[in-house]
Amino acid sequence: MIDAADLVADPEQMMILYCRAVGIPFREDSLTWDTGHRTEWRLTDEWHETVAGSTQFSDPATDYPATVANTPRLAEFSAHHEKFYERLRTVRLTPRSSRP
């Protein structure tokens, strides 16, 4: 598993680790891309607006009107799923845990 915060903090190292973990060669050109929509996003284009305008991994500042803090149903979902997320975080790839 890769945590998005780890990916944004160190994209090159995280991609190297991911490629090693899944047995494919790392390609430095995978760290950047051209802007634009991809055909496989056709059904969910609205979900990909931010990435379609990007050229590299980044942490976009996104504000949502409904949040865990102001929406009880989201807070309920978050509380239920937090334990699973925390368990996944214990086995995630990290540059710190993978360096000798």
Average pLDDT of every residue of the chain: 91
Rg over alpha carbons for the chain, rounded to the nearest Å, is 16
Domain that holds residue 80: 4-35+57-98
For the chain, what is the HEC assignment?
CCCHHHHHHCHHHHHHHHHHHHCCCCCHHHHECCCCCCHHHHHHHHHHHHHHCCCECCCCCCCCCCCCCCCHHHHHHHHHHHHHHHHHHCCCCCHHHHCC
Structural domain total, the chain:
1
Query: Residue with structure tokens 């969910």?
Result: 44
Does residue 79 belong to any structural domain of this protein?
yes
Q: What is the pLDDT of residue 100?
A: 45
Q: What is the pLDDT of residue 59?
A: 87
pLDDT in tens, 50-98: 899 999 999 887 888 999 999 999 999 999 999 999 999 999 998 765 5
Structure tokens at 6: 């780890």
For residue 7, what pLDDT band results from cuts at 50, 70 and 90? very high
Torsion angle in degrees (nearest 10) through CA of 24, 22, 81, 43: 40
Does residue 45 belong to any structural domain of this protein?
no
Does residue 49 belong to any structural domain of this protein?
no
